[in-house]
Amino acid sequence: MSSHEPKVSIVIPFYNDPYVREAVDSALAQSHRNVEVIVVDDGSTEHAELLKPYANRIHYLGKANGGTASALNHGFRHASGEYVAWLSSDDVFYPDKIKRQLAAMRSVDAWIGHTGFDCIDGIGRYTQFAVAPPSRTHELLQAFRTSNPVNGCTVMMRKSLFRSIGPFDERLQYTQDLDYWIRVLLAGVPFHLTPEPLIAYRWHERMGTLRNKVAIEQETRATFRTYESRYKAFLSQLGVR
């Protein structure tokens, strides 16, 4: 590890997830060696024993159950890295994820970035390859009118940006990421895309995206309504229709 490599904190929110070992293993296996792995146990009642073998290699933070936003805030606040990255406990980083994304972001002095991703199922079989959000800035901005085109577990940002934007909104149970990305954009900070797939995003029957579909749709609509007028004015200023 060279002394000039920026430190990256990988924050893994964890709640009753049997896949957590795969996530932790992938974080520890990064080719960029200057990383710290922070697992935030959000009041789990099962599968926490899976973390015991990693006691000397991760920072384990236990807390009362408060949801994903609360766990992310707790982890990001305790992060000592110059950059912070989010990894869900059921997803997997590829070995060069941090190295390649960090190099791409630093090459343009980006404050926040996201990447493409592959999809896997509950037993790790690939179901979709090279999913990438819009590559052109205006297309990404347009997409945020009706959807969330940024996969949270591909995101890495400077810790200083988190301090500037503020915490994830803990009142939001499902759309804390969408809300945060819109706040970042409204602050005038663009997302830098590394289009290659650098993570495996897992779709499985236990995931909240599937189990809470109706509630997520309702909260998503409410989030869009919250920012509708401001975001419309923001796009108008940029000349984006």
pTM as predicted: 0.95
Task: Please state the length of the chain.
Answer: 241
Range 61-86 average pLDDT: 98
Asked if the model's pLDDT at residue 101 lies above 60, the reply is yes
Q: Does domain 8-238 match CATH 1.10.10.10?
A: no
Say whether pLDDT at 161 is over 50: yes
Domain residue spans of the chain: 8-238
Kindly tell me if the per-residue pLDDT of 118 is higher than 50: yes
- Using pLDDT thresholds of 50, 70 and 90, give the confidence band for residue 2: very low
| Mean of all residue pLDDT scores within the chain | 95
Strand partners, 59: 38
The pLDDT, as a whole number, for residue 1 is: 43
Looking at the chain, the whole-number percentage of residues with pLDDT higher than 70 is 96
Confidence of residue 126 (pLDDT cuts 50, 70, 90): very high
User: What pLDDT does 209 receive?
Assistant: 64
Average pLDDT over residues 154-174: 98
